[in-house]
Amino acid sequence: MKIELKKATLSDAEELYDIQVKAFMPLLEKYQDFDTNPANEDIKRVISRINHQNGGFYKILYDDKLIGAIRVLWKDGTTRFSISPMFILPEYQGKGIAQKTIKLVEEMYPHATTWELRTILEEERNCYLYEKMGYVKTGETKPLNERTTLVSYNKVS
């Protein structure tokens, strides 16, 4: 299994948007979080992630096939970084790709002292993944609706 990250460009926007919708649609259907779920965003949001000055939007390549993306953000003048969003096509989930992707991103930014991310509290597999990677719940939660809650994690280097 060869996992690579390559910086996304505007020519990738449409394909990344399609993958994002496919990756997040099962969660949208399950939790009905229409205001926040990336499956419900338009392509302009993907384009803005690609063009953002304080961040990197990376394609996830699995054996040279585009299967997802991860976005890294940072605040100017700090060493606090965040991951939001990360998505992988459903048929490639559960294969260790997310874990390897997070490791690669953290290695790309060795000067980061804190990593932050948020995920759906009810998605136990996601929570398990991040905790296995050394992320710790901060105690901060945000209900999205009666079905789901966002939970914040961080990892201090």
| Residue 134, domain member (yes or no) | no
| Residue 77, domain member (yes or no) | yes
Half-sphere exposure of 142 (CA within 13 A, CB side): 9
Owning domain of residue 100: 3-116
| Residue 148, domain member (yes or no) | no
Determine if the pTM surpasses 0.85: yes
Report the pLDDT value the prediction gives residue 157, as an integer from 0 to 100: 84
| Residue 45, domain member (yes or no) | yes
| Residue 149, domain member (yes or no) | no
| Residue 126, domain member (yes or no) | no
Nearby residues of 123 by Cβ (< 8 Å), 6 or more positions away: 27
Q: SS3 for 156?
A: strand
pLDDT tens sequence for the chain (157 residues): 899 999 999 999 999 999 999 999 999 999 999 999 999 999 999 999 999 999 999 999 999 999 999 999 998 889 999 999 999 999 999 999 999 999 999 999 999 999 999 999 999 999 999 999 999 999 999 999 999 999 999 999 8
Assign residue 69 the CATH number of its domain: 3.40.630.30
Cα distance from N-terminal residue to C-terminal residue, the chain: 27
Structural domain count of the chain: 1
Report the pLDDT value the prediction gives residue 76, as an integer from 0 to 100: 84
| Residue 32, domain member (yes or no) | yes
**Would you mind telling me the total number of residues written for the chain in this entry?**
157
CA distance 68 to 19: 6
